[in-house]
Amino acid sequence: MIANSWSRHGPRVAALLVGAAALTILVTAPGMGGYLMTVVITAVLFAYLAQCWNIVGGYAGRFSFGHAAFFGVGAYTTGVLGQHGVNPWLGLLVGAAFAALLGAALAVVSFRFGVRGPYFALSTLALAETLRVVFTNWEFVGAARGVMVDFSPGSSLAAFQFDSRLPYLYLILGLAAAVTALVAALDRHRVGLYLRALREDETVAASLGVDCQRYATYASALSAALTAVGGAFYTQWLLFIEAPTVYGVEISVAMVIPVLLGGVGTVWGPLLGSLALAPIQEGARALFRDRPGADLVVYGIVIAVVIIYLPRGIMGLFTPRPKVDQPPVAPVTPPVPVGAAR
């Protein structure tokens, strides 16, 4: 059957597409112009972040709408520590640890109070917004002026600073590949199955021996830590951060959209989504160069159409599942006598 062979080969086709795209970027990168390379680095960074979100939003089914909180914590920790002479790699690790704690706390609190679905999304949004306001007004972290990272000329991997864009591109490609390998391993592992189980039904998962709170917390902490690594990369790449940007809703949204577009809770979905999204985004921007904001309208329409017609994302195209009628759950009540016809 065609459907069967598709569903078996779908992930492989997706992997092939993503691999081809990554290879194309690698090969053409040295000859890329500055603008194009900035676009590509941004696209790969958000593909990486989308994959980080996928761990908790896709696998564990906790639809976070405020992952900018973790991104910002990573960016700020690296930036502020850097101003005090701390090596950015160490700053990256400290930022990841802070974010992991924050992610774990969020998971524990939301589990304890049964905050799920839209309420969870809103509470994560509130967390990111709170941090945005706090950091905009907190003098120690530069308040509204933001954080400027000192640049010492010359490239150095140890100092996490390069005087050309190319090493940043290689670095973020490596990070995206690493997190994808991690998600692929998770997908096949017991813990990945546990996450999918608790996403579908926590009561059932628990009755089968899954400690839902523990695994949801692991997923949240891991996703947050990896997201913070993306934030640290952002700081070292742009050498300037400010709270309205790194804690902004735009960052949170940009992490979610590629996953919705590509396929939630799949290994390749976030990357396929990013791959499809970048041209749409750039195309709309180029098309409406003199109409600021119009590109976002187009972008919004595309996303709305995808969510309506492709609820399982692009991966849903690769792994079709024919619709079947749900068998009704019969409300059987009265005692049924022996030998009765029903």
Partner 1 sequence: MSAAVMRVDAVRKRFGGLVAVNDVSFTLGAGEVLGVVGPNGAGKSTLFDLVSGVRRPDAGTVHVGERDISGLPAHRVARVGLARTFQKLRPLAGLSVTDNVMVGAYCQTRRKARARSIAAECVEAVGLTHKANEDADRLSTGQRKRLEVARALATGPRILLLDEITAGVDPSGVPLLIELIHKLARMDLSIVVIEHRMRVILDVSHRLLAMHLGTVIAEGDPATVMRDPTVIERYLGRSYVDS
- Confirm or reject binding of residue 189 to partner 1 (CB under 8 A): yes
Binding part of the chain for partner 1, among 75-83, 87-95, 301-309, 326-334 by CB under 8 A, reads 326-334
Work out whether the CA dihedral 307, 310, 314, 316 comes out positive or negative: positive
The closest of 230, 254, 249, 240 to 128, measured between CA atoms, is: 249
Q: Give CA–CA dist 196/193, Å, rounded.
A: 5
Contacting partner 1 (CB under 8 A), which of 34, 203, 286, 290?
203
Contacting partner 1 (CB under 8 A), which of 193, 294, 298, 303?
193
Binding part of the chain for partner 1, among 99-107, 113-121, 177-185, 321-329 by CB under 8 A, reads 321-329
Binding part of the chain for partner 1, among 141-149, 164-172, 206-214, 249-257 by CB under 8 A, reads 206-214
**Which tokens hold the place of 221?**
């902490």
Binding part of the chain for partner 1, among 203-211, 219-227, 246-254, 273-281 by CB under 8 A, reads 203-211
280, 302 contact by CB (below 8 A): yes
Q: Sketch the per residue contact string, 242 through 271, with partner 1: x for CB under 8 A, - otherwise.
A: -----------------------x------
H or E segment to which residue 298 belongs? helix 294-309
The pair phi, psi for residue 62, each rounded to 5°, is: -95, 100
- Confirm or reject binding of residue 334 to partner 1 (CB under 8 A): yes
Length of the chain: 342
Contacting partner 1 (CB under 8 A), which of 197, 219, 224, 259?
197
Nearest to partner 1 of 152, 207 (CB atom): 207
Nearest approach in angstroms of CB 213 to partner 1 is 9
H or E segment to which residue 255 belongs? helix 249-262
Q: What is the DSSP string of 124-183?
A: HHHHHHHHHHHHHH-GGGTGGG-EE----SS-BTTTTB-SSSHHHHHHHHHHHHHHHHHH
Q: Sketch the per residue contact string, 276 through 315, with partner 1: x for CB under 8 A, - otherwise.
A: ----------------------------------------
Contacting partner 1 (CB under 8 A), which of 17, 29, 159, 206?
206
Q: Give CA–CA dist 81/86, Å, rounded.
A: 5
First to last CA, the chain: 38
Binding part of the chain for partner 1, among 118-126, 196-204, 233-241, 267-275 by CB under 8 A, reads 196-204
- Confirm or reject binding of residue 340 to partner 1 (CB under 8 A): yes
H or E segment to which residue 241 belongs? strand 240-241
Between CA 218 and CA 230, with CA 224 as vertex, the angle to 5 degrees is 140
- Confirm or reject binding of residue 12 to partner 1 (CB under 8 A): no
In single-letter form, the type of residue at position 148 comes to M
**Which tokens hold the place of 58?**
């896709």
Q: Footprint of partner 1 on residues 207-226 (CB under 8 A)?
A: 207-212
Nearest to partner 1 of 59, 162 (CB atom): 59
Contact residues toward partner 1 (CB under 8 A) are 188-190, 193-194, 196-197, 200-201, 203-212, 265, 321, 324, 326-330, 332-342
